[in-house]
A and B are shown apart, each in its own frame.
Chain A
C-alpha cells in the first residue's frame, strides 16, 4: 500500500538478491509498477488471486467435509450398526438355543425358529459387511467369522441331535459351541464394531476439522483486507468515495465467507448432536443388549451344566456389574444402564425403562440360581427360568432393541441434517467467487481506462 507512488529504485533492493526466473519476474513487476495503469493491473490480478484463494479454501473444505459426512452416514455408521446387529444376532442365537435345549429333548418350535432366524440374520449382516469391505483388521475379523460361524452351527447341530436322542453328551456339545461363540466369534464381531467405530471417529474428525475453518478464515480475512486496502488506496488516489465494482466484490466475499463459516458451524452442530444423541447412546444400548443376552445365555448354560455352573454364574455376575448392578441385584449407581437412563431422561423418553426391566429379569435369574443349589429344586428352577425368566428377559431385550433403533434413527437424522447444511454450498461458493472476481475487475478496469 505504501507503493502508491512509483519511487526510484533504491540502490540495493530486495530484487537484487533474487536470482533466476524470480529475479526476472521481480524486475518485470517493478517495471510494470512504475506506471499507474501497470500498477492497477497488478492490483486487479492480486485481488483476483486473493478471491481465488478464498474460493479454493472454501471449495476444498466443503468437498472434504461433505465427503466425510457422507463417509460416516453412508459407510461407517451403517457398518457400525451392522456389526452391532451381527453381535446381537449371534448372542441371541447362542442364548436362545441354550434355552431351547434346556427345555428338553424336543425344542420348543418358536425358540428353534428364533435360533434359525438369528443365525440367518447374522449371516445376512456378515455378507453385507463383507461386501462393504473395510480395514485390514476388519478383514481378519471377517475371516474369523466366516470360518467359525459354520463351526458353531455344526456343534449346535450335534448338540441338538444328541439332545433329541436323550444323549447327555449333547450338553457338552452345547457348552463347547457356546465357548466358541463367547471366546472367538463374539470378540471378532466386537473388533468389527470397533473398526467401524474407528471409521466413524475418523469421519467425524475430517467432517469437523478446525483446519478448514482456519484456512477459510485466513483466506477470507486476507481477501477482505486486500479489497478494503485497494478501496482506501483508490480513494486516496482518485478521491472517489465509491467504487461499485469493488463494493460488490467485497459484499460477495463477505457473503462467501459468512455462508461458508455459518454452514460449517451448523454442520458441526448437527454432527455433535448426532454423536451425543445418536452414536454414543446407540453404542451403549447395543452393549447393554449384548450384555443382557450374555447373562441370559450364561443362565441357561449354567442350568444345563447342572452343578458345573460356577464359572458361568461368575460371568453373569460380571455382566450385571457392568450393567450397573451388584450380583444381588442392587443398583451400584454407575454402569451401562444408568448411563442410558440418564440419556433417555435427557431426551424425555419415558417408555421402556431398561433399568426396571433388567432388575425384573435379574431378580428372577437370582431366584433360579438359588433354587438350583437347593437339592431337589432343579426342575422348579428350570421351569421358572423357562417361563418367568424368558418372559422377563424378552421384555428387556425388546425394549433394548426399540431403544437401539430409536438412537440409530436419531444418529441417521442428524447425519443427514449435517449433510444438508453443506448441500449446494460448493455451487454458492463458485458463483459468489466468480461474481466477486468479475466485480473486482469491473471496478478497477475504468480506472485503468482513464490512463488510455
Chain B
C-alpha cells in the first residue's frame, strides 16, 4: 500500500509528511504496547499469608542432660528465722519486707493449672477467677504476716501465674517477691535462687490410664512418660533405671491431655499434682512406689536473705499453730484415694 502511494504521489494531494507518519506510527505502537499487553494478576504481597512465628506451646520435647549439680549438702536446710518475728505492719527498717510493706502488696508467683496446689477457680460466683490451693494458702499466711489480718485480700496479695519453667527467671528478674509453686528445693536451683525450708514433702509417683499394663516406672522402659518441662520430675524420669522416654511439655495440664490422647503412656510428677489429675479424669490412676521425695519450698531471691528468714519464721508458726494441718485438710483431706502416707508437716532444718 505504501509503495503504491509513493508511486502515485500526484493522486494523493493530502499526503502526510514523513514526520507526521512516523509520529503517528510510534503513537500507534505506544497505544498497542500500553493498552494491549497481557494483564497478569498475581496475589499482592499484602494479600499473602503471614507464616507462623515460634509455634506456641512447643517446649523442648526432652530434657537436656543436666549440669552436674554442685553438692550443697541437704537442700532442705535453710536460713534460721529471726529470734523475734516482727509484728505485722512493723517490718524492720531497711529490710526487704519493709520495701514490700511500703509498696503495699506482696507479689507471688504461683501455678494456675496444678490443683489442688495452685489453680484458678473456674466456677461462677464470688470465688470465680480466684487463685486457690495449698500454695495459695501458704502465700496468704506470708502476706498476713506482713500486712496483718487483711493481708490475704486482693489489695495486699497479687498473684502472677507461671508455667514451671518460668519460676526461676521470674525471681531473678524481680517480677515476683516469692514463688510458691510446688517448687522442689535442690542444689542445682540453690545456685540461682534461695529457698525456704520445705512446707510440703511430695512424693514423685506415676499416673497411668486405668487398665493399662503399667504398675510403676519399672514397667515403662522405652515408653513415653510426661512431666512438665523444667521440673525435677522430668529429671527423675530421665534418670529412671528402666529407661523410659522423658517427654517435657509446658504445663501439667498438657501432660494430662497427652495421656488422655494416648500421646504418652504415663505422667510422673508429685503425687499431689497427680491427685488433681485423677480428680479431673477418673479414668486415670496413680500406680507404683515413690520415685523420689520432692521437698517443696518457697523460692526467694538470693539478694533478699532477710526475706528467706522471715518466710521460714512464718512457716514455723504455720506448723506450730496447727494452721498447716488445716490447710492440708482443706486441699488434701478429701482426696480419693487418700494420700499414702498421709500428709504431715516436714521438719524444719536450719543451717545457722
Contacts and interface: CB of A to CB of B under 8 A. Distances in A.
**Are these two chains actual partners, yes or no?**
yes
Contacts of B53: 311, 314-315, 318
Most chain B Cβ neighbours within 10 Å, of A205, A280, A308: A308
Interface residues of A, number: 85
B124 A105 contact: yes
B325 interface: no
B184 interface: no
Interface in B1-44: 1, 4, 32, 35-44
B54 A162 contact: no
A376 B129 CA distance: 11
Contacts of A306: 112-113, 120, 161
A106 B124 contact: yes
Contacts of A209: 38
B157 interface: yes
Given A172-B251, A284-B46, A307-B112, A104 B128 contact: yes
Interface in A306-365: 306-308, 311-312, 314-315, 318-319, 322, 335-336, 339-340
Most chain B Cβ neighbours within 10 Å, of A176, A264, A269, A307: A307
Interface in B215-243: none
Nearest to B175: A373
B4 A183 contact: no
A105 B257 contact: no
B142 interface: no
A105 B112 contact: no
Given A210-B37, A265-B35, A268-B39, A375 B107 contact: yes
A283 to B, nearest CB: 3
Nearest to A282: B47
A213 B36 CA distance: 7
Contacts of A315: 52-54, 56
B124 A104 contact: yes
B33 to A, nearest CB: 9
Nearest to B115: A168
Nearest to A182: B52
B36 A311 contact: no
A271 B57 contact: no
B256 A172 contact: yes
Contacts of A340: 46
Contacts of A286: 47
A343 to B, nearest CB: 10
B108 interface: yes
Most chain A Cβ neighbours within 10 Å, of B42, B256, B257: B257
A272 interface: yes
Given A172-B251, A232-B4, A339-B46, A183 B39 contact: no
A210 B36 contact: yes
Interface in A149-202: 158, 162-163, 165-173, 175-176, 178-179, 182-183, 186-187, 190, 193-194, 197, 200-201
Nearest to B162: A307
A208 B176 CA distance: 65
Interface in B298-342: none
Given A104-B128, A175-B56, A265-B35, A169 B41 contact: no
B242 to A, nearest CB: 27
Interface in B104-123: 105, 107-109, 112-115, 119-123
B40 to A, nearest CB: 6
Contacts of A204: 39-41
A5 interface: no
A275 interface: yes
A300 interface: no
A335 to B, nearest CB: 7
B1 A229 contact: yes
A287 B113 contact: no
Contacts of A190: 49
28 contacts: A104-B122, A167-B281, A168-B113, A168-B114, A169-B281, A172-B251, A176-B57, A179-B58, A182-B56, A193-B49, A200-B41, A201-B41, A201-B43, A209-B38, A210-B36, A225-B1, A229-B4, A275-B41, A279-B41, A284-B46, A287-B46, A287-B49, A306-B113, A306-B161, A315-B54, A319-B50, A373-B160, A376-B105
**6 closest Cβ pairs, A-B complex:** A376-B158, A283-B47, A375-B158, A306-B161, A172-B253, A307-B161
Interface of A: 104-106, 158, 162-163, 165-173, 175-176, 178-179, 182-183, 186-187, 190, 193-194, 197, 200-201, 203-205, 207-211, 213, 217, 225, 228-229, 232, 264-265, 268-269, 271-272, 275, 279-280, 282-284, 286-287, 290-291, 294, 298, 301, 305-308, 311-312, 314-315, 318-319, 322, 335-336, 339-340, 373-379, 382
